[in-house]
Amino acid sequence: MELIGNVQVVSLLYPVSSGSAPTIDIFSLEEYNHALIIVGIGATDGTMKVTVEECTAAAGTGNTDIAFNYRISTTTDTWGALTAGVSGTGFTVGGTDDDSLYAIEIDADELTDTYEYVKLTFGTPSGSATLMSAIAILSEPRYMKDIPVSAID
């Protein structure tokens, strides 16, 4: 079985060490029913807010914070309990959360009508720098294709 024919993997933020809020690609759920966003945190010495927004345009305009579910992994392959219905205020990565992964789940039918775009946002880290990255794994394509449809406009 070939997994890449059934999912689209989108690099939202290549690994970067930054003391400011990074620019993160915005993706569309028009062709997919589900998104799993994996946020990777390496070394951090301060706190940082993580939120998810729905948008009406690929440029990120018409944006509104949305609630979502997530899990945390602080080991190689063990995930914590599901934190459900996190409000639009998101969650905070702590200053001692080095080497952790966050799995954020978004269903396309949870987005408001006319909002097809999803934007992950990282706030400005409170410390000097945080090593961070993010990918989205889009699944349940609405129409199967030999080559996955791009989700970045």
CATH of the domain at 137: 2.60.120
Give the residue, 148 or 102, on which the prediction is more confident.
102
Overall number of domains in the chain: 1
Within-domain flag for 137 = yes
Within-domain flag for 78 = yes
Owning domain of residue 85:
3-141
pLDDT band, residue 146 (cuts 50/70/90)? low
Q: What confidence tens digit (pLDDT) does each residue in 88-141 have?
A: 789 999 888 889 999 999 999 999 999 999 999 999 888 778 899 999 999 988
Within-domain flag for 152 = no
Within-domain flag for 147 = no
Within-domain flag for 150 = no
pTM exceeds 0.85: yes
Q: What confidence tens digit (pLDDT) does each residue in 51-90 have?
A: 999 999 999 999 999 999 999 998 888 999 999 888 878 9
What is the secondary structure of the chain as a DSSP string? --GGGT-EEEEEEEEEEESSPPP---EE-SSEEEEEEEEEEEEESS-EEEEEEEESSTTS-S-EE--EEEEEE-SSS-----EEEE-TT-EEE-TT--SEEEEEEEEGGGSPTT--EEEEEE---SSS-EEEEEEEEEEEESS--SSPPP---
